[in-house]
Chains A and B, each alone.
Chain A
């Protein structure tokens, strides 16, 4: 079908795309199609709001997911979707760009907002650029209008009872020129910060690795996860890059973010801008982070955090 397409990599990110996908499809009086390789999700995706599933076949073990690109392109040329949405994961961004390159299509990257402009038959997209220092709004009028969507930009779609949809099986793609020799999972030494309600983030203000214990205690007291800025994971390597927050790292949307010993470079602030409440503790009253907080304490974290813990544990 034409209409709105989404690439569902999984159920969680898929539900967010279904939410915005449905809205856009309704505005156009058209349907929502999901491309997926996970056949066991079909009924779930349909229940959340998908009208049609384009099911990609399983791949040989040593082929990467990028092998699907020619098949997706072929189908898009056949069905002429108005809009194609991807999650802004590493895979999603690559697939979107390569498919857009084949189709000669316009693509908005890491969009935090999407709107259908009926009068112009345009997809309007909002995204950050210049390292997170600026925001741009762009419109695309030519089908397929493509976008990669930042996670947690949209709430997950709700389940609806009594929905039905059809499943179309797509043919196998030609063999991929790229051979996967090995897949290594990132060792999950850290918690999942993307979903955390409270994030305690550590920065260069911590003088030694042992003092991260203070931050861990605070995270525990608040039921949250510990995270860090880029220098902590990339330069001194005290924490894994899984918990690094920033422009080219993770973005979080917790209810509460507490930054300890963080100066507030724009690249880090980009990763936390959507937190509900931002608190920071920094020795330097002139640190840029204080312009971006709801609440701040200009003081020595080694003195403030123990006091904070004492009050919380009372």
Chain B
């Protein structure tokens, strides 16, 4: 079993590291403080080819394997979880459905500018009444004279305020149950689409999150993704991919927390010696290193399975729940290692701890992940 990355993978990771150091590190604290969307950095990511990594070259993607993409998400998230998340929600959740279920027309029209970084994608599924319980959604889509008319409110839509293209879900046939929801591609200028309330968040504050309101929103019939009734299947499919990205993001956050802790522990002198000489600190850092390695191998394994065309649902969920929980645990520990300084605005670990929490919640809560894993294992 060869655990080594290929030279290309190492180079891509190294280049993303350099990109993040050059363009993201200098602004990470500021965009967290102000909640500003780093449009210029996202545009640069697009220019450099990072906004459609695992998709076919013929549609503007870079045609990398999923593992290479996940490595890039980890590196970017190490500098800024919000920027890393913007890239991953766009790539996995918004572009994934179009790539996997779209027809050639739709890919040419929508996927290509999205992969080229000319457009930003968003994924609008969650509603006020429907989080983990997707079926509790109330948005509807009615076919009327060659157009679908959408009505409903989506909430917690990441990239909502800044996206050009939305992938959204609504009931086309409530009576059909699991086969009654459909997926749609909605451009931002579709009549009847409105960006609603912007949410101020605890963490990943530079990532823009809002309601998306459809009020008699009209889109061409050709914007139906897959077939009518395929909505749930499409959503479940792209969650599998998305989880690999979130796991990678969580590993990036944890890696940053560990590096900050190591550097601080070596320099902070109490009782005449650096605190890195204390066994408790050493053990905490040893646990960080071990859990980060575990989480990284879990997401790499899930990505590898996907790249081999093998089933990877259970493995992606395992990676996501483990990475998110260890990331939360260790970012708290990182603040603890920094003592009072860790609690002060401007210290990186203060931001990391706030950023970490969301990884346990979005793209399937840890509870939802456990349901998936249990279903798989207890079959």
- State in angstroms the CA–CA spacing of A286 and B264 once bound together: 8
Residue of A with least CB distance to B268: A286
Instruction: List A contacts of B367 (CB < 8 A).
Output: none
Residues of chain B lying within 8 A (CB to CB) of residue A285: 267
Q: B residues within 8 A CB of A286?
A: 264, 267-268
A286 to B275, CA, bound (A): 13
Interface size class of B (residues with CB under 8 A): under 10
Cα(A286)–Cα(B265), bound, Å? 11
How long is the Cα–Cα vector from A286 to B260 in the complex, in angstroms?
Answer: 13
A285 to B268, CA, bound (A): 9
B25 CB to closest chain A CB, in angstroms?
A: 15
State how many residues of chain A have any CB contact under 8 Å with chain B.
Answer: 2
| A→B interface (CB under 8 Å) | 285-286
| A245 CB to nearest chain B CB (Å) | 24
Q: Which residues of A contact B268 (CB under 8 A)?
A: 286
Q: What are 4 A-B residue pairs whose CB atoms fall within 8 Å in the complex? A: A285-B267, A286-B264, A286-B267, A286-B268
User: Which residues from 267 to 290 on chain B have a C-beta closer than 8 Å to any C-beta of chain A?
Assistant: 267-268
Q: Which residues from A are CB-within-8-Å of B264?
A: 286
A19 CB to closest chain B CB (Å) equals 42
What total of A-B pairs shows CB separation below 8 Å? 4
Describe A's contact surface by its main secondary structure. Answer: loop
Closest A residue, CB atoms, query B266: A286
> Distance in Å from the Cβ of A289 to the closest Cβ of chain B?
12
A286–B268 CA distance with the chains assembled, in angstroms? 8
What is the CA–CA distance of A286 and B338 in the complex, to the nearest angstrom?
A: 13
A286–B347 Cα distance when bound, in Å, is 14
A285 to B269, CA, bound (A): 10
Nearest-Cβ distance from residue A55 to partner chain B, whole angstroms: 52
What separation, in Å, do the CA atoms of A286 and B267 have in the docked complex?
A: 6
Hey, which chain A residues are within 8 Å of B267, CB to CB?
285-286
Query: Smallest CB-CB separation from A291: which chain B residue?
Result: B267
Task: State how many angstroms separate the Cβ of B45 from the closest Cβ of chain A.
Answer: 24
How distant is the Cα of A285 from the Cα of B267 in the complex, in angstroms?
9
Q: CB within 8 Å of A: which of B58-77?
A: none
| Contact residues of B between 223 and 273, Cβ < 8 Å to A | 264, 267-268
Q: How far is the CB of B348 from chain A (nearest CB, A)?
A: 13
Bound form: Cα–Cα A286–B263 in Å: 9
- What is the distance, in angstroms, from B338's C-beta to the closest C-beta of chain A? 12
In the complex the two chains form, what is the Cα distance from A266 to B354 in whole Å?
Answer: 34
Measured in the bound complex, the distance between the Cα atoms of B379 and A80 in whole Å is: 87
Nearest A-chain residue to B263, judged by Cβ: A286
In chain B, what residue has the closest Cβ to A290? B267
In the A-B complex, the 4 residue pairs with the closest CB atoms: A286-B267, A286-B268, A286-B264, A285-B267
B260 to chain A, nearest CB (A): 12
B120–chain A nearest beta-carbon distance, Å: 32
CB-nearest residue of chain B to A288 = B267
A285 and B264 alpha carbons, distance in the complex (Å):
11
Nearest CB in chain A to that of B264: its residue: A286
- Bound-state Cα–Cα, A285 to B270, Å: 13
Q: Which residue of A lies closest to B267 (CB)?
A: A286
Shortest distance in angstroms between B76's beta carbon and chain A's nearest beta carbon?
A: 25
Give the shortest distance, in Å, between A5 (CB) and chain B (any CB). Answer: 46
Taken together as a complex, chains A and B put the C-alpha atoms of A72 and B216 apart, in Å, by: 89
Determine how close the nearest CB of chain A comes to the CB of B302; give it in whole angstroms.
38
CA distance A160 to B81 in the complex (A): 70
A282 CB, nearest partner CB in chain B, Å: 13
Query: Within the assembled complex, what's the spacing in Å between the Cα atoms of A292 and B218?
Result: 68
